[in-house]
């Protein structure tokens, strides 16, 4: 079978490998259907992402059809079913896992980051990672994973209906947060530096979109909230200076949720942290909300479809990565379609 492997910085090579064989007990053999390429994939390929290490077969946002179930399987899954696949393999034993947070397991392995991912034709995964999504298209089922990232951020934030929230970053993760936050009935302001992304944020229901290259986001946010500041700020850029702005603009008693990753150290003003009694939260992967993310995609089907902007085949993955880096405005969610 074919695979696309990132072998070095900005280099994806196509190769033939052996079939994965038969699934063991508790496992399923999957026929990969669709694989999303996200900002972190481009970052890994370009080696700007802190998690980058080569060689790696990328692909952590994916859907697949079940080709076979391991011997002795008894449960609701059946061969042929289309599933959204949660790409996380926690160790189930560390302190985070024992406390119910396998998403930030100390020894977490993620398909496409630490383990060879889905940019291939077939893959074996544990059955507990499969979420049936027969009523979705393969592309929408692959879109569940980025939505789960946004949903985890919103779940962490405690966002309530009517709250005003600011999203820094209107790329794929910022857009996923926007869908999940809209589902909670929040009012949204989006900040980015790419005009095309801001247009997309407005089209998807943001009340205001601010270009931080042309405008002062702090002043616009203050005006939008009548000087109160937003109840919640989502940081989805990974830019240190933006993290600092998030802390400065959030309301007293408010919450900052950070999902953007970078190697920047950001000085945090402890006086502001205390005076505002701010909640400052990291957010990583998702903790038990993957099934809810399938439902969010079902409810926001058309909007999710509008966020899928390009489609490729497996042999065009090198082209897709280069296009994504060069075209941040038009490349929101690129999908690699595999097999039938």
Q: What residues line the site for Zn ion (CB under 5 A)?
A: 90-91, 94, 97, 105
Structure tokens at 30: 């999957």
Contact at 8 Å (CB) between 102 and 108?
yes
> By C-beta, is 95 or 203 nearer to Zn ion?
95
> By C-beta, is 92 or 275 nearer to Zn ion?
92
Min dist. Cβ of residue 102 to Zn ion (A): 6
Min dist. Cβ of residue 88 to Zn ion (A): 10
Min dist. Cβ of residue 218 to Zn ion (A): 39
Contact at 8 Å (CB) between 337 and 31?
no
Min dist. Cβ of residue 104 to Zn ion (A): 8
Contact at 8 Å (CB) between 266 and 259?
no
Length of the chain: 340
> By C-beta, is 105 or 119 nearer to Zn ion?
105
Strand-pair partners of 124: 29
Min dist. Cβ of residue 106 to Zn ion (A): 5
> By C-beta, is 97 or 331 nearer to Zn ion?
97
Q: Which of 310, 321, 311, 318 is nearest to 15 (CA)?
A: 318
- For residues 61 and 37, give the distance between their C-alpha atoms in angstroms, rounded to a whole number: 7
Residue with tokens 């595999």: 338
Strand pairing report for 109-110 and 208-211:
unpaired
> By C-beta, is 90 or 229 nearer to Zn ion?
90
Contact at 8 Å (CB) between 183 and 150?
no
Phi, psi values for residue 94, rounded to 5°: -75, 175
Please, what's the b/e burial string for 136-157 (b: 16 or more CB within 10 A of its CB; e: otherwise)?
A: bbbbbbbbbbbbbbbbbbbbbb
Min dist. Cβ of residue 93 to Zn ion (A): 6
């Amino acid at each position: 079978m074919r695979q696309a492997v990132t072998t070095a910085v900005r280099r994806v090579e196509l190769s033939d490998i052996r079939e994965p064989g038969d699934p063991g007990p508790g496992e399923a053999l999957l026929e990969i259907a669709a694989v999303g390429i996200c900002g972190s994939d481009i970052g890994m390929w370009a080696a700007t992402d802190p998690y980058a290490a080569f060689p790696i077969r990328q692909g952590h946002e994916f859907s697949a059809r079940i080709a076979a179930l391991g011997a002795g399987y008894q449960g609701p899954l059946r061969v042929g079913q289309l599933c959204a696949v949660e790409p996380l393999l926690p160790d189930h034993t560390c302190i985070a896992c024992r406390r119910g947070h396998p998403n930030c397991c100390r020894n977490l392995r993620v398909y496409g980051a630490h383990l060879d991912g889905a940019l291939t034709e077939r893959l074996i995964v544990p059955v507990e990672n499969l979420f049936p999504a027969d009523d979705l298209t393969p592309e929408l089922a692959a879109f569940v994973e980025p939505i789960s990232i946004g949903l985890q951020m919103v779940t962490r934030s405690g966002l309530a209906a009517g709250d005003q929230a600011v999203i820094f970053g209107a790329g794929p993760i910022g857009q996923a947060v926007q869908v999940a936050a809209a589902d909670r009935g929040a009012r949204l302001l989006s900040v980015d530096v790419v005009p095309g992304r801001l247009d997309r944020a407005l089209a998807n229901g943001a009340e205001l979109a601010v270009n931080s290259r042309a405008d002062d986001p702090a002043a616009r946010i203050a005006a939008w909230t009548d000087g109160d500041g937003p109840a919640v700020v989502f940081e989805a850029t990974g830019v240190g200076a933006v993290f600092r702005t998030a802390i400065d603009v959030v309301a007293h008693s408010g919450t900052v949720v950070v999902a953007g990753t970078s190697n920047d150290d950001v000085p945090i003003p402890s006086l502001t942290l205390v005076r505002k009694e701010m909640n400052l939260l990291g957010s990583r992967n998702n903790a038990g909300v993957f099934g809810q993310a399938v439902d969010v995609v079902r409810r926001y089907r058309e909007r999710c479809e509008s966020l899928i902007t390009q489609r490729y085949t497996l042999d065009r993955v090198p082209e897709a990565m280069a296009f994504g880096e060069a075209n941040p405005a038009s490349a929101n969610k690129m999908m690699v379609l595999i097999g039938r």
